[in-house]
Structure 1
Amino acid sequence: MRYFCASIAKKLLLSISDLAKTTKGAGTMGLTAEKVHRIRLQVLTEEAFRPYGRVLELPEVPPSKRGDIWQCWFPVGSMQLDAPLGLGIVRTSRLPQSIADMERHVSREELLFPVDKPIVQPVGLPKDLASEKAVPQVEDVQAFIIQPGQAIIMARGTWHAPAYALEHEEALYYFGVEIKPDAVGDDANPWVKFYGERVVEFVR
């Protein structure tokens, strides 16, 4: 998620109540049907996630190294870095009914993986990376279920909301982004409403 220095520290301390306020996922009551775009949660696969980034999971090939009681696959992925990688952890709450905004990092990839519970990551297609006026489009959004043992690397410019717990009241997940200012946008206030003041509603 987009931030630098103080913003990273804020994200590390993000509480469940803060998260709810940030993402404005209060529901869709009072909105016309034209304002609500409904999407179904998707199982995370390499093919489905490819427009938004890359998937890391246990390969279906022999390990590159092995011992008597262990096996190792390396590398299973890599990131494009030109600054130190900052790591953070988020405590998140259950998936809301809907979301109204997203953020992006046009000059940084983002690594993300759950600790011990499945999470849902809403993402939007990376477009207009050089534009300060770009806004996320509800038609470009998908929401993927990430299981423990899986990870994603979101491509530069991929719009995204915070990840949310799939079926528990809360969950923990780690994320990693380069510690540097982003080339476009406001690191201190990165959230951008969907075009036309629309919302994305999640269907299970």
Structure 2
Amino acid sequence: MKLQIEKMTAENSKEFGTLLSIKEKDAAYKGDDFSFFKNLAEIEFNENIGFSLVETHMDTTVEISWLERHLSSSELIIPSDKNIVLVLGSGEKTADLSTLRALEVEVGTAFSVSRNVWHFAPISCSDTTNVFILLNQSTPDCDLEKIDCESIGLTV
């Protein structure tokens, strides 16, 4: 099964989290040197934040061999220099493959993945891309549920 990539919008991503973007937003402060957009989203972190980086490499086809979710924490994903694709889905005990979407996140925006949302690592749209990840410091060790999808043949 091949997922088709769609541009991420606030509407098509709302069941998975919050798109942080200044499109169609008014600046709280606008001056000659900069504009300040405050409170684009409220993201709940309940401990020290781990600031991590994923270096993702472009490939013509990416196999989605696993999916993960965090039961009690959110994850903020910020592309640094190029657009990325996030594979996101819902499901109670395991991922419901019929809900999976491949959504392209533009540079200059960010996406907050809600708790319990199944997701794959960020996928580069071109070349090597660095992606900043903010989440509770203990999440990778204590709040990570992962499932194997290799036998499904799911690709982007």
Indicate whether the TM-score tops 0.5: yes
Superposed CA RMSD in Å reads 2.2
Bigger Rg, structure 1 or 2: 1
For 1:87, the aligned partner's letter is: F
Aligned to 1:29: none
Q: Secondary structure at the match of 2:82?
A: coil
For 2:95, the aligned partner's letter is: P
Distance 1:60 1:85, change over 3 A: same
Mapped pair 1:150 → 2:109: yes
1:133-144 alignment to 2 at 5 Å?
134-144=93-103
In structure 1, runs of 5+ residues without a counterpart are: 1-36, 129-133
Aligned to 2:137: 179
Mapped pair 1:161 → 2:120: yes
Q: Using the aligned pairs only, state the percent identity.
A: 19
Q: Secondary structure at the match of 2:3?
A: strand
Q: Is the strand fraction higher in 1 or 2?
A: 2
Size of the alignment, in residue pairs?
155
- CA distance, structure 2, for counterparts of residue 123 and residue 61 of structure 1: 25
- CA distance, structure 2, for counterparts of residue 73 and residue 167 of structure 1: 29
Which digits, 9 at most, give the CA deviation of each residue in 1:114-164, with x for residues without a partner? 111111111111x32xxxxx3223212111111110100001011111011
In structure 2, runs of 5+ residues without a counterpart are: none
For 2:132, the aligned partner's letter is: Y
Aligned to 1:93: 57
Distance 1:61 1:164, change over 3 A: closer
- CA distance, structure 2, for counterparts of residue 120 and residue 200 of structure 1: 15
Deviation, structure 1 residue 192? 0.9
- CA distance, structure 2, for counterparts of residue 65 and residue 82 of structure 1: 29
Aligned to 1:197: 151
Q: Is the helix fraction higher in 1 or 2?
A: 1
User: Which of these residues, 73, 78, 82, is aligned with residue 117 of structure 1?
Assistant: 82
Aligned to 1:80: 44
Q: Which runs of 4+ in 1 moved over 4 A?
A: none
Contact in 1 for aligned 2:73/2:139 (Cα 8 Å): no
TM-score, normalised on structure 2?
A: 0.89
- CA distance, structure 2, for counterparts of residue 61 and residue 80 of structure 1: 22
Distance 1:149 1:85, change over 3 A: same
For 1:113, the aligned partner's letter is: I
Deviation, structure 1 residue 101? 1.3
TM-score, normalised on structure 1?
A: 0.69
Distance 1:59 1:113, change over 3 A: same
